Structures are given as C-alpha cells and as structure tokens.
Amino acid sequence: MEEDAQKIFDYLPINKSSFEEDYINHLWSSFLSLLNSESEEAKPFCIMPFHLLFMLSIQYKVLRIAKVKNHSYNLIYTIKSLRDDQKDLIVPNSPFVIALLRESEIIDIFKLIKLDQNILQSIKFLIRNRNDKLAHAKGGIDLDYQTKINKYLDLLQLIQNSTLSLNEKVALRWLKESKLKKERSEFIKIHLAEEYLCMVDFENGKLVQFNEYL
C-alpha cells in the first residue's frame, strides 16, 4: 500500500521551494507513521495527511492554470469581493495562497480547462467526505482508507489528462526559447520551478521529448 501511495509524489512539482519541500515531507512522514503504526486504530487516520498531499497537488495545478489562463483566472477575482488577506489570489505565487479559498472553490477553478463535470463532482465528494466525517469530532473513521487513497490517485490522473493542452504550450515555448540542444538542460532546470511541472507531465504529450534533460 505504501508503494501505491508514494505515487502522490509523481503529481507534486519536481522543483519547489525548501519550505514547500519541508511541508510535504512532514505530511508524508505523518502518513507513514499512521499507516505503519502497530495500532490498528491509528491506521485509518493516515487518510488525513494524504488528503492534504492530494489538495496540495491540486493547488499546484491551479497555479499552472492561473499562469496559463491568467486572463480568465484574474477575471474571477477582479469581480469578486476579496478579503484583505485574500488579495494575493489575484496573482498567486504559492500553493499556500490558493489554500485561502475553500476547497470546493479551488476545484471550481478547473472549469477553466473544461474538466468534466463528473470528475469535478467526484473530487468534491471526497472533500465533503473528509470535511463532514473526518475533519471534525463527529466520530468518523474511514476504515477503507486503501480504496480512498486509490481514488485520490485516480482523480489526480484524470486532472492530469485535462492539463495536456497546457503542456503543449510549455513545450512549444521551450523549443523556441532553448534553440541550442546543448543549452537545453540548464534552461529546463531553471524553468521547471516556475511552471510547477511534475513527473507525470513528462510521461505523455509534448513534454515527453524533454525527458532526457530532467
């Protein structure tokens, strides 16, 4: 099960800040501690840190959407009344800024890349399940955490499939801006972080051609 769960890292950016890296490592360590606990009563609560890793993966994707679809994204928040502590949402530069929104609002941003409505609802169902049953002291225990973890990963892949058009634009720009092949490796190292690209971005589509430079 741990091996399956580790696939979550394929959906998190290859390059990220040290603070983001530290936060991810804390979540993963918490997940493993609960999953591998000798106490059977503790194991089901591994879904809590895993849910946060799932949401973080989604928040990185939203940063990509905000950058590539900046006009449509900005329009949402220029016509919406934001609190002072939410002003950074207009031009977000961190996944933690995206977390200023409610989780269901975060999911709605995927409408900008025409993510299927059924997928949107499936993600929201997972979020509601976590919020309604696990995040508060209501007596909720998710005994079928293995199935839930697989569901999280399946949904991340469906989201990933919807971002292929974003990757095409990145690939075309990289080819244009890094004309000399010998310079490409250094160029990609510099630009990986600003694009919030993860390993699955290089598994199919236009970015596959850059695998050798990672």
Specify the pTM. Answer: 0.91
- Give the pLDDT band (50/70/90) at residue 57: very high
Angle ∠(68,71,74) on CA atoms, nearest 5: 105
Which two three-digit tokens encode residue 85? 């502590």
Nearest to 166 by CA among 58, 64, 60: 64
SS3 content of the chain, % helix, strand, coil (to 5): 75, 0, 25
pLDDT over 90 for what percent of the chain?
A: 51
Residue 189: per-residue pLDDT: 82
Give the list of residues 6+ apart from residue 24 with CB closer than 8 angstroms, or none: 12, 16, 53, 56
C-alpha–C-alpha distance, residues 93 and 60, integer Å: 10
Q: Are 10 and 199 in contact (CB under 8 A)?
A: yes
pLDDT at 71: 87
Q: Report the pLDDT averaged over residues 7-32.
A: 96
Residue 150 pLDDT:
95
The DSSP code for 40 is: T
> What value does the mean pLDDT take over residues 55-72?
93
* Confidence band of 79 (pLDDT split at 50, 70, 90): low
Tell me: pLDDT of 78 over 80: no
Give the start-to-end residue ranges of the domains of the chain.
2-162, 165-213
How far is 51 from 33, CA to CA, in rounded Å? Answer: 15
Q: Report the chain's mean pLDDT, rounded to a whole number.
A: 88
Q: pLDDT of 163-206, one tens digit each?
A: 888 898 899 888 888 776 667 888 888 888 888 999 999 998 88
> Per residue in 136-147, pLDDT tens?
676 767 768 889
With residue 97 as reference, give the H or E element that holds it: helix 95-98
134 pLDDT band, cuts 50/70/90, is low
